[in-house]
């Protein structure tokens, strides 16, 4: 399926929906709904009508960082994408090249020892590739200002070429985002939750739908290579583990809001099928072969055909169902990417 579908450029959402017309709010996106191989078309504001009392939405509370910072490598301008902070204080970073249109293009990383001058007198030194499978992300040592402060003062949200213009950081925060005391957060927005508004959350709660917060700080995805995600920090609190287990025991459906929520929850399930409080790093990649053990449904955006996220969708919904949903999304001109429409997968 993934190699057969091509997404026309005009179906990339170039600006957030609330900027496409007067009176529009975040929840004014369309929602494709899959139940098995059946596909239906809804608006996101109809979500409360599609869920039941006792259902549980698992939401990611990670706040988005202003993770892109300008720098200089010798005489060359570069853009540094700060992805993930390691336990040893180093940062996983991606170096990109400005393309003259406000966005960036891929750039060869390394070699070890390469230096980047950062604003505010900071300096970054590349030490080694993050993994042996790619030299896109490097572990780097940063001297000078602390990185969280550097991002607050000089950073901006990571922006990809299909978007029209830079947006303020507030555009990239979801209603569930909580600032972290240590400045940790996501390099890229957990975008599946972006259409939620406080009004919609209130309506869902009033109908008996519950919420279980988890945290997973997303790293920098590859805009070109569609690599699987690297190891990421996550937390599943004890209270959320209890809510998830209680929903399952009571016959409610556990619906993850975003692939990040799936990754966190499925990383916290034991051999007995119960979810337990857990925190640390996860390198789990959910595939159809691995399957899902806890999640019954998924709310997510529309992904590129080559994206590894589609393997997760196939694990939840099945390959035939995902193929039919994406064919329908193309036929009905749904909008792709972080500012686009959403796809609800229900059992």
Q: Given this model, what pLDDT does residue 2 score? A: 46
- The tally of CA atoms less than 13 A away on the side-chain side of residue 182 is 8
Q: Are residues 230 and 333 in the same domain?
A: yes
Task: Give me the pLDDT at residue 132, please.
Answer: 66
Which of 108, 131, 156 lies at the terminal end of a domain, its last residue?
Answer: 156
**Last residue within a domain, chosen from 129, 156, 183:** 156
Q: How confident is the model at residue 7, as a pLDDT? A: 84
Say which CATH number the domain at 249 has. Answer: 3.40.1780.10
Domain assignment of residue 288, yes or no = yes
Residue 83 lies in a domain: yes
**285 and 330 housed in the same domain:** yes
Q: Is residue 164 situated within a structural domain? A: no
Please indicate, yes or no, whether residues 57 and 91 belong to a single structural domain of this protein.
Answer: no
pLDDT tens digit sequence for 47-63: 999 999 999 999 999 99
> CB–CB of 283/266 below 8 Å?
no
Q: What is the pLDDT of residues 89-144, one digit of tens each?
A: 999 999 999 988 888 988 877 799 999 999 999 999 999 998 766 778 999 999 99
Residue/partner pairs of 169-176 with CB below 8 Å, 24 or more apart = 169/64, 169/66, 171/16, 172/64, 172/338, 173/63, 173/64, 174/59, 174/60, 174/64, 175/201, 176/59, 176/60, 176/61, 176/213
Whether residue 182 lies inside any domain: the answer is yes
Asked if residue 206 and residue 301 are part of one domain, the reply reads yes
Claim to verify: residue 40 and residue 85 sit in the same structural domain: no
For residues 200 and 132, state if they share a domain. no
Q: 208 and 130 share a domain? A: no
d(CA 109, CA 179) in angstroms, rounded, equals: 31
pLDDT of residue 286: 92
Radius of gyration of the chain, Cα coordinates, nearest whole angstrom? 20
Q: Does residue 162 belong to any structural domain of this protein?
A: no
- Asked if 250 and 330 sit in the same domain, the reply is yes
Q: Rounded mean pLDDT of 236-245?
A: 98
Q: How confident is the model at residue 164 (pLDDT cuts 50, 70, 90)?
A: very high
Mean pLDDT value across the chain: 93
* 219 and 334 co-located in one domain: yes
Paired tokens of 253: 């459906």
Assess whether pLDDT exceeds 60 at residue 8: yes
Whether residue 310 has pLDDT greater than 80? yes
Q: What is the pLDDT confidence band of residue 3, given thresholds at 50, 70 and 90?
A: very low
Token readout for 332 is 């009905």
- Is the pLDDT at 27 greater than 50? The verdict is yes
Mean pLDDT, residues 287-307 taken together:
90
Q: For residue 223, is pLDDT > 60? A: no
CA distances from 345 to 22, 127, 146, 336, 337 (A): 30, 42, 41, 16, 17
- What pLDDT does residue 110 have? 77
Answer yes or no: is 7 within a domain. no
Q: Are residues 294 and 308 in the same domain?
A: yes
Our count of domains for the chain comes to 2
Position 42 pLDDT exceeds 60: yes
Note the pLDDT of residue 21: 93
| 193 in Cβ contact with 213 (< 8 Å) | no
Query: Could you tell me the residue range of the domain that residue 99 belongs to?
Result: 68-156
Residues 300 and 336 in one domain: yes
Does pLDDT of 226 surpass 70? no
Taking the C-alpha atoms of residue 237 and residue 256, their distance in angstroms, rounded to an integer, is 15
31 φ/ψ angles, rounded to the nearest 5 degrees: -135, 115
Residues 183 and 48 in one domain: yes
Average pLDDT over residues 168-180: 96
Domain boundary, last residue among 124, 156, 188: 156
pLDDT in tens, 253-269: 999 999 999 999 999 99
Of the candidates 287, 205, 301, the residue with the CA atom closest to the CA atom of residue 256:
301
Task: For residue 6, tell me if it sits in a domain.
Answer: no
Q: Is residue 4 part of a domain?
A: no
């Amino acid at each position: 399926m993934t190699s057969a579908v091509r997404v026309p450029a005009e179906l990339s959402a170039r600006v957030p929906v609330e900027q496409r017309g007067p009176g529009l709010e975040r929840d004014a996106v369309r929602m494709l709904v899959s139940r098995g191989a059946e596909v239906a078309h809804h608006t996101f504001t109809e979500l409360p009508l599609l869920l039941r009392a006792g259902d549980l939405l698992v939401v990611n509370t990670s706040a988005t960082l202003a993770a892109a910072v300008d720098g200089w490598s010798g005489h060359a301008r570069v853009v540094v994408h700060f992805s993930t902070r390691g336990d040893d204080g180093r940062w996983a970073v991606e170096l990109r090249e400005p393309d003259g249109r406000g966005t960036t293009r891929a750039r060869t990383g390394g070699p070890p020892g390469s230096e980047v001058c950062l604003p505010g007198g900071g300096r970054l030194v590349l030490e080694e590739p993050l993994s042996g499978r790619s030299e896109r992300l490097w572990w780097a040592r940063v001297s000078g200002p602390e990185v969280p402060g550097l991002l607050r003062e000089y950073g901006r949200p990571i922006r990809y070429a299909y978007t029209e213009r830079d947006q303020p950081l507030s555009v990239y925060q979801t209603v569930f985002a909580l600032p972290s005391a240590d400045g940790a957060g996501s390099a890229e927005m957990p975008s599946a939750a972006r259409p939620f508004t406080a009004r919609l959350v209130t309506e869902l709660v009033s109908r008996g739908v519950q919420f279980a917060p988890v945290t997973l700080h997303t790293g920098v995805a590859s805009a070109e290579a569609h690599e699987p995600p690297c190891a990421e920090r996550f937390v599943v609190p004890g209270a959320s583990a209890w809510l998830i287990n209680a929903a399952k025991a009571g016959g409610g459906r556990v619906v993850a809001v975003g692939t990040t929520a799936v990754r966190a929850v499925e990383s916290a399930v034991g051999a007995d099928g119960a979810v337990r409080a857990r925190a640390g790093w996860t390198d789990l990649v959910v595939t159809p072969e691995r399957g899902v053990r806890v999640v019954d449904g998924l709310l997510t955006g529309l992904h590129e055909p080559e994206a590894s996220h589609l393997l997760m969708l196939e694990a939840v919904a099945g390959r035939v169902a995902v193929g039919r949903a994406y064919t329908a999304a193309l036929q009905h001109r749904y909008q792709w990417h972080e500012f686009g429409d959403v796809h609800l997968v229900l059992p």
